[in-house]
C-alpha cells in the first residue's frame, strides 16, 4: 500500500490523489484542530465524509476523542457509518496505561466488523498484541522510537517477521515520520505503509540535480529550435 498522507487539508489530499501516489489518509484530533476544523463532532463528520468520498476506496483513519469505554464504542460505530472506507483509530492503552482499550479493539473488530487502526505504539511487542487482538492496522511511531535512541528499522523488521510467521492480518503503519529518508528505509525494513505529511512527499519527488537536468534539457531544446529556424 506504501504511503498514507498524514493531513486533513483537502487541497493537499486532492493534489496528491491526482498524482496517483496516495494510498490512504490518516488524521487525528491534533491535525484537524491545527487545520481549522471547527464545529465539534459535526465539523469532524463533514471533513471525514468529504475525505472518505474523495479517496475511496482507499482508507481514511479517524481517531476517537475519548478513552471511556462506552463513548469509544459509540464514536467508533458513528465514525464507521460515515463511509465504507473509514478506519477507526484507537490508542493501544489509556493515558495512565489502562488496558481496557485492547478489549475495545477486539470487540470492534470481531463483534462490530469495524476496521481498527491501533495507534501510539512504540514497540514491536505492543503491535504484536494489538494484531493478536484483531486489529487491521498497527501503527508504530518510528520517529519517536528514533528520538528515544533506537533505530525504528529493527522494530519494524522484527514486527513484520512475527506477523508473517503467525499469519496475522494486521498491516504495519509507521508514522511520526521526520525526514524523507524515513519513508523508503521503513518500507524497506518491512512496513506495509508509511505516513507522511505533504512536505515530505514533495521532498521525495523534487531533487536539485533533477531540476538542474530539466533546465539543461530546456535550454538545449531552445538552442536546437533556434538553429532549426535559422
Q: Work out the angle between the directed axes of helices 10-19 and 40-55 (0-180°, nearest 10).
A: 10
The string of pLDDT tens digits covering residues 82-114 is: 999 999 999 999 999 999 999 999 999 999 999
18-42: pLDDT as tens digits: 999 999 999 887 788 778 888 888 8
Confirm whether 89 is a catalytic residue. yes
Q: What is the mean pLDDT of residues 37-52?
A: 89
Annotated catalytic residue: which of 42, 89, 211, 227? Answer: 89
- Cell numbers describing residue 33: 484542530
Give the residue among 13, 23, 159 at the shortest CA–CA distance from 87.
23
Cα angle 102-30-192, degrees, rounded to a multiple of 5: 55
Return the SS3 of 117.
Answer: strand
- Where in the chain are the domains? 2-229
Cis peptide before 88 (omega within 30 of 0): no
Pairing of strands 86-91, 60-63: parallel
- DSSP lists the bridge partners of residue 62 as 88
Domain 2-229 belongs to what architecture? Alpha-Beta Barrel (3.20)
pTM, to two decimals: 0.94
Amino acid at each position: 500500500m506504501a504511503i498514507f498522507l498524514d493531513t486533513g487539508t483537502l487541497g493537499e489530499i486532492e493534489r496528491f490523489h491526482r498524482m496517483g501516489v496516495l494510498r490512504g489518509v490518516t488524521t487525528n484530533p491534533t491535525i484537524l484542530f491545527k487545520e481549522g476544523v471547527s464545529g465539534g463532532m459535526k465539523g469532524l463528520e463533514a471533513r471525514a465524509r468529504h475525505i472518505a468520498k474523495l479517496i475511496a476506496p482507499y482508507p481514511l483513519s479517524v481517531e476517537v476523542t475519548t478513552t471511556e469505554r462506552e463513548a469509544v464504542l459509540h464514536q467508533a460505530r458513528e465514525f464507521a457509518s460515515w463511509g465504507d472506507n473509514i478506519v477507526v483509530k484507537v490508542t493501544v492503552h489509556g493515558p495512565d496505561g489502562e488496558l481496557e482499550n485492547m478489549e475495545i479493539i477486539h470487540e470492534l473488530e470481531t463483534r462490530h466488523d469495524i476496521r481498527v487502526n491501533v495507534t501510539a505504539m512504540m514497540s514491536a511487542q505492543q503491535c504484536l498484541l494489538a494484531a493478536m487482538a484483531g486489529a487491521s492496522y498497527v501503527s508504530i511511531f518510528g520517529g519517536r522510537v528514533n528520538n528515544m535512541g533506537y533505530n525504528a528499522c529493527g522494530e519494524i523488521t522484527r514486527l513484520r517477521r512475527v506477523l508473517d510467521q503467525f499469519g496475522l492480518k494486521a498491516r504495519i503503519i509507521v508514522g511520526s515520520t521526520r525526514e524523507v529518508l524515513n519513508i523508503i528505509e521503513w518500507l524497506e525494513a518491512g512496513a506495509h505503509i508509511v505516513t507522511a505529511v505533504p512536505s515530505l512527499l514533495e521532498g521525495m519527488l523534487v531533487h536539485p540535480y533533477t531540476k538542474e537536468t530539466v533546465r539543461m534539457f530546456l535550454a538545449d531544446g531552445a538552442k536546437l529550435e533556434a538553429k532549426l529556424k535559422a
